[in-house]
Structure 1
Amino acid sequence: MTRLNNEVAIITGGAGDIGTAHVESFFKEGANVIIADINEEKGKLISKNYPNNTSENKVIFVHHNSTDEKSWKRLSSKVIDEFGKVSILVNCYGTNFRERYINQNLENWNTILNVNLTSVFIGIKELIPFFKLSGKGSIINLGSLASLRGSEYSPAYTASKTGLIGLTKSTAIAFAKDKIRCNLICPGHVDTNFIRNNSQYSPNDWTTSINNPENYNERLNQIPLGRLQTPQDIANLSVFLASKDSEMITGSIITVDGGITI
């Protein structure tokens, strides 16, 4: 028996590597899945991998800009029109500009805070009434190791991801009486195309280490369990947090980092 039968899950950032793993996992567990992403070409391509002409669960794409309040309203309207309810929200998107603290550009600071934190608040606030109508809800935010420790290279990113801890806990306590749960996953070093191809990082960061065999093993030695995380590692936990198996878990901050923060 699948764990998410008849559930309706919005995956923001659903066209990214981590988001794509969530789409596949939630669909396999029986949920109807909405890929909500600004990347229309990739989002539509992913949605075409799933049959939508059956009476069972399906996957649809909705073009969505998470920083735009009106876009959230269009998204919620589309989901309710299509499925009649929404019961799960996974926020797995974000942005970063790698700048030392002293060089942090204010425009970039505002952009990072807006994308990584403010937009999550906007989305949750928009969907709360629909969760209440469903009689329950599971909200899963994706943080980072930066949620748990500082970085001289990314003060804005660290502030935004640390802010998700407070937002997650505030959401959890505010709506517990409505059986709406909210939890935060803090992934470690996830092997994604973004990390492999991002030119912002310095030679000592993971992106260059992944592509440099001389440094790769040394970096892996920092992870007690001995490997990078995969998008699927994160999606597996999200499925659990979205299911009845975790109905007494809310306001929790859970790391998936191979033990690097021990």
Structure 2
Amino acid sequence: MFLKGKTALVTGSTSGIGLAYAKALAVEGANIVINGFGDADAIEAERKALEETSGAKAVYSDADLTKPERIEEMMKLAAQEFGGVDILINNAGTQHVDPIEDFPVDKWDLIIALNLTSSFHTVRHAVPYMKERRWGRIIATASAHSKAASPFKTAYVTAKHGLAGFTKTIALELAEHGITANAISPGYVWTSLVENQIPDTMKARGMSREDVINKVLLEGQPTKQFVTPEQVAALALYLCRDEAAQITGANLSIDGGWTAE
């Protein structure tokens, strides 16, 4: 348990990739702060399971990450419970698919706030503690869309490109403080985020569900397979190891070859 005594905060971690991160970190003994929305009983069951796995403590924050004041409350909760955050994984995100002329302004604002701006706020609150400890790991769930664009996803592609640039910038700022900052860029991972965008893509492209899966989602992934949340979590876990101390400012693809060209 190489993370025993350390605390990890994972945003958007009540399901999908975020929950996979939390489970992987718990296996290595970390205290965990999970965050997100969902059924209260299901979230409590996951929180208890994390504690059973880690032998440490897990707490839950229902902070709405589109609101800076709620982010500050979440970071204060981590400070009160554990002194601060050693590992910060910015994973929360949402998606909307529409042609640019029809793209709702409120959806643009939501996606930029959640997928990009929230990371600015979590990092600025987390860094002082990391600097004090002279150790920290900041990881962003970016996307293959941080490296390549797809039509009808203007807000998401913009946010993910911004997140990649943000990660590189803070990696340079923090390089002499024992803190690394990296992005992980998965291709299509079978999660609710992907599944929920299928109807909109069917409408935008005039396609069947099967065609969206095979001709849109998996068309760009040469392996023709979805990435799993556990594969993404395993990469994040490696970035937390001392052996990864010289990996910083990287944007690591795990996309079945999508961005290889």
Structures share fold, TM-score greater than 0.5: yes
Name the amino acid aligned to 1:65: D
Q: Distance in 1 between matches of 2:10 and 2:134?
A: 20
* 3-state SS in 2 of match to 1:152: coil
Tell me the residue number matched to 1:231. 229
1:202 aligns with 2:212: no
Alignment of 1:26-105 (within 5 A): 26-39=25-38, 41=40, 42-51=42-51, 56-105=55-104
Q: Distance in 1 between matches of 2:234 and 2:193?
A: 20
Q: CA deviation at 1:218?
A: 9.6
- Contact 1:39-1:63 within 8 A present in 2 as well: no
With 67-76 and 221-230 compared, the bigger mean Cα shift is at 221-230
* 3-state SS in 2 of match to 1:48: helix
Structure 1 residues 124 and 205: alpha-carbon distance in aligned structure 2, compared to 1, 3 A threshold: farther
- Contact 2:75-2:122 within 8 A present in 1 as well: no
* 3-state SS in 2 of match to 1:201: helix
Alignment of 1:105-254 (within 5 A): 105-198=104-197, 199-202=199-202, 208-209=209-210, 216=214, 220=218, 222-254=220-252
Q: Distance in 1 between matches of 2:208 and 2:253?
A: 21
Q: CA deviation at 1:217?
A: 9.2
Q: Gapped runs of 5+ residues in structure 1?
A: none
Structure 1 residues 219 and 35: alpha-carbon distance in aligned structure 2, compared to 1, 3 A threshold: closer
Q: Which protein has the bigger helix share? A: 2
* 3-state SS in 2 of match to 1:50: helix
- Please give the root-mean-square deviation of Cα atoms over the aligned residues, in Å: 2.6
- Contact 2:31-2:54 within 8 A present in 1 as well: no
Q: Distance in 1 between matches of 2:206 and 2:237?
A: 30
Q: Distance in 2 between matches of 1:88 and 1:226?
A: 32
Q: CA deviation at 1:38?
A: 3.6
Structure 1 residues 176 and 205: alpha-carbon distance in aligned structure 2, compared to 1, 3 A threshold: farther
- Contact 1:189-1:228 within 8 A present in 2 as well: yes
Structure 1 residues 55 and 49: alpha-carbon distance in aligned structure 2, compared to 1, 3 A threshold: closer
List per-residue Cα deviations over 1:203-260 (Å, max 9, x = no partner). Answer: 7699933xx7x96499657533342101111101110112212101111000111112
Identity %: 28
Q: Distance in 2 between matches of 1:151 and 1:219?
A: 10
Structure 1 residues 159 and 59: alpha-carbon distance in aligned structure 2, compared to 1, 3 A threshold: same
Name the amino acid aligned to 2:209: T
Structure 1 residues 240 and 101: alpha-carbon distance in aligned structure 2, compared to 1, 3 A threshold: same
Q: Gapped runs of 5+ residues in structure 2?
A: none
Q: Distance in 1 between matches of 2:208 and 2:169?
A: 34
The count of aligned residue pairs is: 257
* 3-state SS in 2 of match to 1:122: helix
Q: Distance in 1 between matches of 2:183 and 2:136?
A: 14
Q: Distance in 2 between matches of 1:207 and 1:23?
A: 35
TM-score by length of 2: 0.88
Structure 1 residues 176 and 152: alpha-carbon distance in aligned structure 2, compared to 1, 3 A threshold: same
Name the amino acid aligned to 1:192: T
Structure 1 residues 133 and 221: alpha-carbon distance in aligned structure 2, compared to 1, 3 A threshold: same
Tell me the residue number matched to 1:17. 16
- Contact 1:76-1:127 within 8 A present in 2 as well: yes
Name the amino acid aligned to 1:255: S
Q: CA deviation at 1:75?
A: 1.6
